[in-house]
């Protein structure tokens, strides 16, 4: 398979990044809250690319500080695979393609030549746009290409029909949809995301606000999720408090589902999304009235630098989680996420909520 040969010939060196830690609800059970760039899904990758006919599905993703980070466009192909394009408010463009059975190594870099061309049906007479890229593997089938804000690349992307990746004579190609329309929709999405951030967010229930206030969490700023499909929202309600992102999700679960199994599935999802070193410290499971409860501290660390300011590097992250389940089967997850250097603040916020809930549960 061309993709497997490409993965072998383009391999550069092993590096760890943390670009997709707490995200992508469709990939794991009840993920936590950083609205960073998602682990973007599959794209068609044979030498005879198949054209997508669907309109672009565009949504906004917010970053660790609650500000608009990227808008994403997913293009679905006839065989169910997808190509995803991400554009930031600063007009930076990221591409992610996913090739089943490609054999990429998670965290490894790949040196590739990227070209944008006119398809054969258009005569293929125009000179292609070509440039060297260094891609990052997010998992065994997905690579991320960070293209920056180069206006020449954007112009070529808007006007060409085929995106090709090549290394050592091996080539895979992706038939592009109407990229001029897609980029227009992405820029409009970024504009609306900025307006939404300064506008209204989903009203949080009074009981939840009262719980947060009783826990000593002040200056709660609800975060909007209107531009995120309901099935992909990382929480039922999200908020920012100080340097933390908080969230809560509640679900009824089937009988015989234990707290240990549910929290274990959740943590497996987090580990899968971490391209660096993942660590989870699980507390003792305790019972308070009708509740079974457990606290967890998790971290995703690249170990390469502090602050994550370099190109292609995401910040090291920490999340403090509170899991509990009632005897009636209602499973709840509270999350407070932060940069790694602020992990004590996240844990303190979690522990404050825990004290209030255990007091209420013990008094019932």
pLDDT in tens, 300-357: 987 554 444 444 456 789 999 999 999 888 899 999 999 999 999 999 999 999 999 9
Structure tokens of 324? 């509990």
pLDDT, position 114 = 93
330 touches 252 (CB < 8 A): yes
Structure tokens of 265? 């599935």
Domain that holds residue 26: 2-195
- As a whole number of angstroms, the distance between CA 41 and CA 38 comes to 9
Is residue 141 domain-shared with residue 27, that is, in the same domain? yes
The stretch 269-280 carries a mean pLDDT of 85
pLDDT in tens, 53-65: 455 678 877 665 5
> Last residue of some domain: 163, 195, 227?
195
Tokens 């522990």 belong to residue: 351
pLDDT, position 299 = 94
Tokens 């404050």 belong to residue: 352
Query: Which residues, including other chains, have CB under 8 Å from residue 146's CB and lie 6 or more apart?
Result: 92, 94, 136, 311, 312
- Please name every residue paired with 280 in a beta bridge, in sequence order, or none if there are none: 298
Task: Report the number of distinct structural domains present in the chain.
Answer: 2
Q: Is residue 200 pLDDT above 80, yes or no?
A: no
Is residue 352 domain-shared with residue 325, that is, in the same domain? yes
Q: How many CA atoms lie within 13 A of 309 on its CB side?
A: 2
Please state which of the ranges 26-35, 59-68, 289-298, 343-352 shows the lowest mean pLDDT: 26-35
Is residue 97 domain-shared with residue 237, that is, in the same domain? no
Is residue 224 domain-shared with residue 190, that is, in the same domain? no
Structure tokens of 76? 């679905």
pLDDT, position 191 = 81
Is residue 93 domain-shared with residue 142, that is, in the same domain? yes
Is residue 40 domain-shared with residue 159, that is, in the same domain? yes
Is residue 304 domain-shared with residue 176, that is, in the same domain? no
- As a whole number of angstroms, the distance between CA 76 and CA 79 comes to 8
Is residue 88 domain-shared with residue 124, that is, in the same domain? yes
- Please name every residue paired with 112 in a beta bridge, in sequence order, or none if there are none: 133
Query: Coil, strand, or helix at residue 222?
Result: strand
Is residue 221 domain-shared with residue 355, that is, in the same domain? yes
The stretch 25-50 carries a mean pLDDT of 28
30, 132, 173, 265 from 162: Cα distances, Å: 36, 16, 7, 39
Nearest Cα to 1, choosing from 103, 80, 85?
103
- Please name every residue paired with 136 in a beta bridge, in sequence order, or none if there are none: 109, 144
26 touches 232 (CB < 8 A): yes
> Last residue of some domain: 161, 195, 229?
195
Is residue 326 domain-shared with residue 206, that is, in the same domain? yes
pLDDT, position 248 = 93
14, 162, 186, 224, 242 from 135: Cα distances, Å: 12, 18, 22, 31, 34
Per the model's pLDDT, the better-predicted residue between 6 and 331 turns out to be 331
Is residue 122 domain-shared with residue 225, that is, in the same domain? no
Q: Is residue 82 pLDDT above 80, yes or no?
A: no
- As a whole number of angstroms, the distance between CA 162 and CA 3 comes to 16
Query: Which residues, including other chains, have CB under 8 Å from residue 256's CB and lie 6 or more apart?
Result: none
Exposure string of 105-116, with b = 16+ CB inside 10 Å and e = fewer, is ebbbbbebebbb
- As a whole number of angstroms, the distance between CA 87 and CA 92 comes to 5
> Last residue of some domain: 147, 174, 195?
195
- As a whole number of angstroms, the distance between CA 166 and CA 58 comes to 28
For residue 9, give the CATH number of its domain.
2.60.40
Q: Is residue 6 pLDDT above 80, yes or no?
A: no
For residue 287, give the CATH number of its domain.
3.40.1000.10
Q: Is residue 137 pLDDT above 60, yes or no?
A: yes
Q: Is residue 20 pLDDT above 70, yes or no?
A: no
Is residue 214 domain-shared with residue 274, that is, in the same domain? yes
Query: Coil, strand, or helix at residue 215?
Result: coil
176 touches 97 (CB < 8 A): no
- As a whole number of angstroms, the distance between CA 310 and CA 58 comes to 27
Q: What is the pTM of this model?
A: 0.52
pLDDT, position 198 = 53
Q: Is residue 277 pLDDT above 60, yes or no?
A: yes
Nearest Cα to 335, choosing from 196, 241, 231, 260?
241
């Amino acid at each position: 398979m061309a993709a497997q040969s490409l993965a072998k010939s383009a391999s550069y060196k092993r590096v760890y990044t943390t670009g997709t830690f707490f995200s992508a609800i469709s990939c794991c059970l009840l993920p936590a809250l950083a609205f960073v760039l998602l682990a973007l899904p599959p794209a068609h990758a044979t030498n005879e690319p198949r054209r997508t006919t669907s309109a672009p599905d565009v949504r906004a993703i917010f970053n660790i500080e609650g500000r608009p980070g990227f808008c994403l466009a997913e293009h679905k192909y006839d065989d169910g695979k997808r190509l995803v394009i991400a554009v930031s408010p600063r007009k930076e463009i990221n591409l992610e393609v996913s090739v089943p059975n490609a054999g990429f190594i998670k965290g490894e870099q790949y040196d590739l030549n990227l070209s944008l061309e006119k398809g054969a049906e258009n005569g293929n007479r125009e000179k292609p746009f070509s440039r060297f890229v260094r891609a990052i593997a997010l998992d065994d089938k997905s690579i991320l290409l960070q293209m920056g804000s180069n206006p020449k690349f954007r112009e070529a992307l808007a006007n060409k029909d085929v995106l090709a990746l090549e290394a050592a004579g091996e080539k895979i190609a992706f038939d592009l949809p109407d990229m001029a329309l897609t980029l227009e929709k992405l820029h409009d999405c970024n504009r609306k995301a900025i307006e939404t951030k300064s506008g209204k967010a989903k009203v949080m229930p009074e009981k939840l606000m009262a719980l947060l206030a009783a826990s000593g969490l002040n200056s709660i700023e609800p975060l909007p999720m209107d531009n995120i499909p309901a099935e992909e929202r990382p929480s039922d309600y999200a908020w920012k408090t100080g340097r933390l992102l908080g969230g809560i999700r509640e679900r009824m679960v089937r009988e015989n589902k234990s707290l240990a199994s549910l929290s274990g599935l959740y943590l497996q999802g987090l580990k899968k999304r971490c391209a660096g070193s993942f660590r989870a410290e699980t507390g003792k499971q305790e019972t308070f009235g009708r509740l079974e409860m457990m606290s967890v501290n998790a971290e995703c660390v690249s170990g390469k630098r502090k602050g994550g300011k370099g190109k292609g590097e995401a910040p090291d992250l920490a999340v403090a989680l509170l899991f509990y389940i009632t005897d009636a089967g209602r499973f709840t997850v509270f999350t407070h996420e932060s940069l790694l250097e602020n992990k004590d603040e996240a844990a303190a916020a979690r522990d404050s909520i825990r004290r209030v809930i255990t007091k209420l549960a013990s008094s019932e």
